[in-house]
Structure 1
Amino acid sequence: MPLVKVVDARQARLFHDLPARLHRGQPVYIGPLTAEVEAVFDPIKNLNFAHGEAIRWVLTDDAGQVIGRLAAFLNRDMPAVADADLPTGGLGFFECINDQAAANTLFDAGREWLAARGMQAMDGPINFGERDRFWGLLVDGFELEPNYGMFWHPPYYQQLFEGYGFQLYFKQYTCWRDVDMPLHPSFGKRAEAFAAEQPAYQFRHALKRDPERMARDFHHVYNLAWANHSGVPEMSLDKARQLVQQMRPVLDERLLWFAYHHDEPVAFFLSLPELNQILKHVGPRLDLVGKLRFLWERWRYQRRRPKKMFGVIYGVVPAHQGKNVDAVMLVHAQKAFQVAGYTDIEMNWIGDFNPRMLATTRSIGAKICKTHITYRKLFDESRPFERCPIIR
């Protein structure tokens, strides 16, 4: 089975076209935007290339038909890669026919490429970028449509990964909640008491007309609340600006909530309209026709019920944890979500290494609806395997 490195536009098209062909018969399948996947491998658009590198392959059968694909990458600024005890690279964008030998050929290529660069393990499937998209293997919830930025995978992919020797590193849960479902009465009581006792705090949504403030506030909370937790690197302000710029065409400012203490951002709960509910009517390519179709479908979506949003990220600066800041922020946010006409929310993924966040989702009545797994493969199989550390 010939393995071909992707080096030109024709091979890139083969890379992008495979998932839709493999999953053509699946009614819930929604593919990602071609341009967004391609941007991951563009050194100009992906800032991770400043300290890293990536490669991708397509696998063909003897007749020249593409039957698999894979990417391998490493960013030497990532804590996992820089770990002197166990430097760990990444694999992602895996797609393959139901054939263990074909999958092994792809995994072997990724392993050899990473080992040649000093890696001793590999995680996958992950992204050459942030964890908010293209991260994890779907293992439960196959009957549901994927959220924007997440892949749909068939059940047999789990067997292909585990058959190669990948082991569970951590699980990622997507949780669903009816937006109109009342919060527990204790939330309202805490919000009333908080307003009387903590006047230095304010809660408000972001303003689309002020992207610089949005980027700075997000950058500040993210680095204090998330950086250095479970392999999450610190984010630069330029990267935060880039993310805001990418979101601006589709964001609904009423879904981006911040808590402030004396005007310092100390918590956020950031959500987006669930774009796959629009993109499934548009297709993977936003050419001129695609863009016009997107604008039409977005207009229809904004006026439709039911209407789904998805939670991208939530965090509280450690110095302000345990003070009911998050509970009060959610009370304010829920009212705005209802006014905006959203009926369902899926919180995009929460690692099982974060029990406090899972407890928060349970406290607001959310239930797990999808499960993804991030696997790890140790190159030295005699070495004891350790799961992802729990955030305490």
Structure 2
Amino acid sequence: ALANGRRFVRGPINPSLNESAGLLVDGFDTDPMVMMPHNPPEYADYIESAGYRKVKDLFAWLYDIEREVPPVVGRLALRVRDRERVTVRPLQLSEFAREVERMRAIYCGAWEHNWGFVPPTEDEFRRLATELKPIFDERCAVCADVDGAPVACAIAIPDINQALKGTNGRLFPSGVIRLLRRTRYIDQVRLLLVGVLPEYRTRGLYPLLLFELQRQVRGGGYRRAEFSWVLEDNRDVNQPAEQAGARCYKRYRIYQKALA
């Protein structure tokens, strides 16, 4: 690594920040949601004893979907929708390929200057979307269009881990049947992507997206939502999440160590 000009080693990241990342350091009393890591508490001591130090924490927020939206958030969301000529709509699986490309454009634009971000290729983003499509619920995603152009999105996926837990780690020969039966018990979602293009961030679209998403998700019978992961210094997401009544219930840590 040194011979190739590398100065630091950083992780755990699998294989980039576009997928699972971080070591769980707080919040061991609940199961991980879909595509989130989990590990024993002592792993942090092992890593730190090897000379690694914290470089960034990632938050997971838990939100009770059944709670009433604070009036101030609801009023702000409605005011933004009317003032900014925003149309909030669900994602359309019938236009899957086009919607995936729209979401990738928003994701890359919204995250461009975020710490550690590497834009996913078209193939990488399409592969991930295709893998998630079988568990996707159209009620768990919204897109905001301004004058007909997509500028923001919020995408959640049902926590399939709740159903997988009943299979004892085996899908064959009878695990698939148990998995299908247990999908009706899924009552939580993971919000894995919230993005607003930079030129629209001052227009209040974050509260509007979360307000509309909660309304749709609640109609699907879901009770809880996890927002994850979120950079510890991302005020654009952390502040609205806290104001809406979510609580930061898990923390994941990315470590770094100098090579010389």
TM, length-normalised to structure 2: 0.93
Task: Determine if the alignment matches structure 1 residue 132 to structure 2 residue 19.
Answer: yes
Secondary structure of the corresponding residue to residue 28 of structure 2: coil
Return the letter of the residue paired with 1:144: T
Change (3 A) 1:192 1:279: same
Q: 1:284 deviation in Å?
A: 3.7
Task: Determine if the alignment matches structure 1 residue 326 to structure 2 residue 206.
Answer: yes
C-alpha contact (below 8 Å) 2:206/2:237 kept by paired residues: no
Change (3 A) 1:196 1:346: closer
Q: 1:236 deviation in Å?
A: 2.4
Per-residue CA deviations over 1:135-187 (Å, capped at 9, x if unaligned) read 11111111111112222211111110110110100011111111021222122
Secondary structure of the corresponding residue to residue 160 of structure 1: helix
Match of 1:343 among 217, 220, 223: 223
Q: Which residue of 2 aligns with 1:153?
A: 39
Q: 1:286 deviation in Å?
A: 4.1
Task: Determine if the alignment matches structure 1 residue 215 to structure 2 residue 100.
Answer: yes
C-alpha contact (below 8 Å) 2:11/2:22 kept by paired residues: yes
Match of 1:294 among 169, 179, 191: 179
Structure 2 distance, partners of 1:330, 1:347, is: 11
C-alpha contact (below 8 Å) 1:272/1:311 kept by paired residues: yes
Q: Which residue of 1 aligns with 2:109?
A: 224
Structure 2 distance, partners of 1:220, 1:263, is: 15
Change (3 A) 1:295 1:117: farther
Task: Determine if the alignment matches structure 1 residue 176 to structure 2 residue 54.
Answer: no
Change (3 A) 1:152 1:359: same
Q: Which residue of 1 aligns with 2:144?
A: 259
Q: Which residue of 2 aligns with 1:163?
A: 49
Q: Which has the larger radius of gyration?
A: 1
C-alpha contact (below 8 Å) 2:108/2:119 kept by paired residues: yes
Structure 1 distance, partners of 2:77, 2:205, is: 9
Q: Which residue of 1 aligns with 2:6?
A: 119
Alignment of 1:34-73 (within 5 A): none
Q: 1:334 deviation in Å?
A: 1.3
The two structures, once aligned, show a CA RMSD in angstroms of 1.8
Structure 2 distance, partners of 1:182, 1:230, is: 33
Runs of 4+ displaced beyond 6 Å: none
Match of 2:130 among 242, 245, 248: 245
Q: Which residue of 2 aligns with 1:272?
A: 157
Structure 1 distance, partners of 2:232, 2:77, is: 28
C-alpha contact (below 8 Å) 1:123/1:376 kept by paired residues: yes
Structure 2 distance, partners of 1:146, 1:329, is: 24
Structure 2 distance, partners of 1:132, 1:358, is: 20
C-alpha contact (below 8 Å) 2:10/2:257 kept by paired residues: yes
**Which structure features the higher share of helix residues?**
2
Secondary structure of the corresponding residue to residue 135 of structure 2: coil
Q: 1:196 deviation in Å?
A: 3.3
C-alpha contact (below 8 Å) 2:54/2:256 kept by paired residues: yes
C-alpha contact (below 8 Å) 1:132/1:312 kept by paired residues: no
Q: Which residue of 2 aligns with 1:308?
A: 188
Query: 5+ unaligned residues in a row in structure 2: which ranges?
Result: none
Per-residue CA deviations over 1:286-337 (Å, capped at 9, x if unaligned) read 4454333322222x325xxxx1111101111011111112222222211111
Q: State the percentage of identical aligned residues.
A: 26
What is the count of residue pairs matched by the alignment?
Answer: 260
Alignment of 1:2-21 (within 5 A): none
Return the letter of the residue paired with 1:251: F
C-alpha contact (below 8 Å) 2:12/2:254 kept by paired residues: yes
Return the letter of the residue paired with 1:169: V
Secondary structure of the corresponding residue to residue 369 of structure 1: strand
Task: Determine if the alignment matches structure 1 residue 202 to structure 2 residue 82.
Answer: no
Per-residue CA deviations over 1:47-76 (Å, capped at 9, x if unaligned) read xxxxxxxxxxxxxxxxxxxxxxxxxxxxxx
TM, length-normalised to structure 1: 0.63
Query: 5+ unaligned residues in a row in structure 1: which ranges?
Result: 1-113, 381-392
C-alpha contact (below 8 Å) 2:90/2:141 kept by paired residues: yes
Structure 2 distance, partners of 1:285, 1:130, is: 29
Per-residue CA deviations over 1:68-91 (Å, capped at 9, x if unaligned) read xxxxxxxxxxxxxxxxxxxxxxxx
Match of 2:257 among 377, 383, 388: 377
Return the letter of the residue paired with 2:189: M
